[in-house]
């Protein structure tokens, strides 16, 4: 059978082009509407870390292989994070417009818009124009996608790059043009460097390769060999970089390597099984924030609905009809080995949002077709449009509620405390901070100082103080002897200390002087500690 593949770009004056532009404009409005918000929302912790690294690239060193944080004392505070695509681009813009929250958020938002466009092009080649436009619309409206893509995170770049990589691979498989295979390899490598969960799409890429080449009768050892070489060459820099990141994180304070400590082999299967594999938290994230119940239903229907019959003339639009099912399936092995990390940092689930949008669009189209078949023929097109419109409205309404919840300034006390510390301290003063969530460096970032979190890394769980206050006192005393000058505690943590850690609070009051208090925070001046021998 001979295959003919459509032009990848619709005509500029076509209805599809107008609809696509409208979807992208809507996506932009939703993502750029709150870019000036301080990093006080759901993902405060990771956004302030990225902002710190961008700040240090701009002001201390432009070496992208040495990402630096400010919560390791006087420094240097190199940490083993992923390749800093978003924070490095943000640092370049800092040189032009200054350091503002909207810079990092905007870089992520632009990647998000590119991801919507890439998803449209991918679905258009796999299925058809209608589903491509609807997939882009669902992706533009998906609450988790909106929130993650307006946050200073690496995930929007990773998802956009990996979606583009799959798109380029499909073009290569359909046209045999080697440049698209090379583009897929380079962009895919960049995507996985930007964040390792990008590997999830490898399942979909392998499925597409075997399926399309088999249907085109080109599943030959030579072809597979060339593709294998490209894949291996793409994995080499990924492996090399993450070995370097591991070395860096183990060699410098705060001795932190991203993803470490929260994987299956770090804590054991029994502990995770006793916690029901964090299924409760997983459900909570997807029902209240990332997807919401209507999208979950659509994804489930899209997964189980049989695909429509395709006649021979349209066969090229369905050469890999189960691509997005395999994309979703790729999350399963990642969740098995990294469940705790994923539920603690749910932005990592963003990698499956393109697949969720695609299968949701297929479910909507299937439902629309069913409704259209039960009415008279003259109204079928109108019924289909109404079903699609109602579906998108439901996604929008439920997503708005989720967005309000996610954008709420949960870390506002830490933000205000950071500003207050900036006012009372000197540029070289070292601070110790306790934010609304222990381990969140928001106070240090907005203080524009360097210092430590309490408890400090490499404590296994920086979100909880030890049950024995004597351990916390010892940690604090070590930081005091390192030269800490100020202790900042948000009011919520001060109340927890009074209730659960009275010995630690009493120690603070003995070796510190209450300098300022506010309904939202407490600032203590730390008395000099005894220097280490």
pLDDT, tens digit, for every residue of 243-258? 999 999 999 988 888 8
pLDDT for position 244: 97
Specify the residue for token string 């088999």.
Answer: 214
Contact 144, 63 (CB under 8 A): no
Cα(290)–Cα(286) distance, rounded to whole angstroms? 5
463: its two tokens: 């979100």
pLDDT, tens digit, for every residue of 53-78? 999 999 999 999 999 999 999 988 99
Contact 424, 398 (CB under 8 A): no
Domain boundaries along the sequence of the chain: 19-254+266-406, 412-526
pLDDT, tens digit, for every residue of 273-300? 999 999 999 999 999 999 999 999 999 9
pLDDT for position 1: 39
Q: How many CA atoms lie within 13 A of 206 on its CB side?
A: 11
Report the DSSP beta bridge partners of residue 484.
Answer: 430
Bridge-based pairing state of the strands 430-434 and 450-453: parallel
Mean pLDDT confidence for 199-220: 94
Counting other chains too, the contacts that 474-480 makes at CB distance below 8 Å and 24 or more residues apart are: 476/432, 476/504, 476/507, 476/508, 477/529, 479/73, 479/432, 479/452, 479/454, 480/511, 480/526, 480/527, 480/528, 480/529
* Average pLDDT score, the chain: 91
Our measurement of the distance from residue 333's CA atom to the centroid of its chain's CA atoms, rounded to an integer in Å, reads 18
pTM: 0.93
379 pLDDT band (50/70/90 cuts)?
A: confident
Q: Is 397 exposed, middle or buried (0-12, 13-18, 19+ CB in 10 A)?
A: exposed
Report the DSSP beta bridge partners of residue 514.
Answer: 524
pLDDT, tens digit, for every residue of 508-533? 999 999 999 999 999 999 998 664 43
Report the DSSP beta bridge partners of residue 488.
Answer: 433, 523
Report the DSSP beta bridge partners of residue 517.
Answer: 522
pLDDT exceeds 60 at position 12: no
pLDDT for position 434: 96
**HEC string for 190-243:** HHHHHCHHHHHHHHHHHHHHHHHHHHCCCCCHHHHHHHHHHHHHHHHHHHHHHH
Q: Residue 303 contacts by C-beta under 8 Å, 6 or more apart in sequence?
A: 325, 328, 359
Contact 116, 23 (CB under 8 A): yes
More confident residue, 173 or 34: 173
9 pLDDT band (50/70/90 cuts)?
A: low
């Amino acid at each position: 059978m001979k295959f003919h593949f459509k032009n990848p770009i619709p005509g500029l004056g076509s209805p599809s082009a107008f609809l696509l532009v409208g979807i992208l404009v809507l996506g932009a409005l939703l993502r750029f509407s709150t870019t000036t918000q301080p990093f006080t929302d759901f993902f405060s912790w990771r956004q302030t870390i990225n902002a710190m690294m961008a700040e240090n690239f701009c002001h201390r060193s432009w070496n992208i292989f040495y990402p630096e944080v400010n919560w390791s004392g006087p420094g240097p505070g190199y940490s083993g994070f992923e390749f800093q695509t978003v924070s490095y681009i943000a640092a370049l813009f800092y040189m032009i417009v200054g350091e503002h929250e909207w810079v990092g958020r905007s870089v992520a938002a632009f990647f998000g818009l590119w991801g919507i466009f890439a998803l449209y092009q991918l679905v258009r080649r796999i299925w058809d124009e209608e589903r491509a436009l609807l997939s882009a619309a669902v992706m533009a409206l998906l609450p988790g996608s909106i929130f993650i893509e307006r946050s200073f995170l690496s995930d929007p770049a990773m998802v956009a790059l990996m979606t583009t990589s799959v798109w380029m691979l499909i073009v290569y498989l359909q046209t045999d043009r080697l440049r698209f295979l090379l583009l897929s390899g380079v962009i895919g490598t960049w995507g996985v460097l930007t964040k390792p969960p990008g590997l999830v799409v490898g399942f979909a890429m392998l499925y597409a390769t075997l399926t399309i080449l088999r249907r085109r009768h080109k599943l030959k050892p030579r072809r597979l060999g060339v593709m294998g070489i490209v894949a291996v060459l793409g994995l080499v820099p990924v492996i090399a970089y993450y070995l370097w990141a591991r070395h860096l994180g183990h060699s410098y304070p705060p001795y932190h390597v991203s993803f470490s400590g929260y994987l299956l082999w770090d804590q054991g299967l029994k502990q995770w099984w006793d916690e029901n594999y964090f299924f409760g938290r997983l459900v909570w994230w997807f029902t209240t924030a990332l997807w919401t119940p209507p999208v979950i239903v659509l994804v489930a229907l899209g997964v189980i609905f049989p695909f429509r019959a395709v006649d021979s003339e349209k066969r090229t639009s369905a050469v890999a009809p189960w691509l997005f099912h395999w994309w979703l399936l790729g999350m399963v092995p990642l969740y098995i080995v990294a469940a705790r990390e994923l539920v603690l940092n749910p932005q990592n689930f963003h990698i499956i949002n393109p697949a969720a949008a695609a299968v949701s669009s297929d479910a909507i189209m299937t439902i629309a077709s069913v409704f259209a078949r039960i009415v008279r023929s003259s109204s079928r097109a109108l019924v289909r449009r109404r079903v699609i419109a109602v579906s998108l409205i439901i996604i929008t309404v439920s997503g708005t509620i989720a967005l309000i919840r996610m954008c709420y300034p949960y870390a506002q006390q830490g933000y205000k405390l950071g500003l207050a510390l900036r006012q009372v301290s000197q540029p070289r003063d070292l601070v110790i901070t306790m934010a609304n969530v222990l381990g969140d460096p928001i106070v240090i970032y907005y203080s524009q100082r360097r210092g430590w979190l309490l408890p400090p890394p490499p404590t296994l769980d920086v979100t909880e103080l030890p049950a024995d206050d004597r351990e916390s006192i010892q940690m604090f005393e070590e930081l005091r002897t390192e030269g800490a000058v100020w202790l900042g505690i948000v009011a919520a943590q001060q109340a927890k200390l009074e209730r659960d850690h009275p010995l630690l609070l009493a120690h603070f009051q003995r070796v510190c002087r209450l300098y300022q208090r506010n309904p939202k925070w407490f600032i203590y001046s730390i008395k000099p500690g005894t220097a280490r021998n």
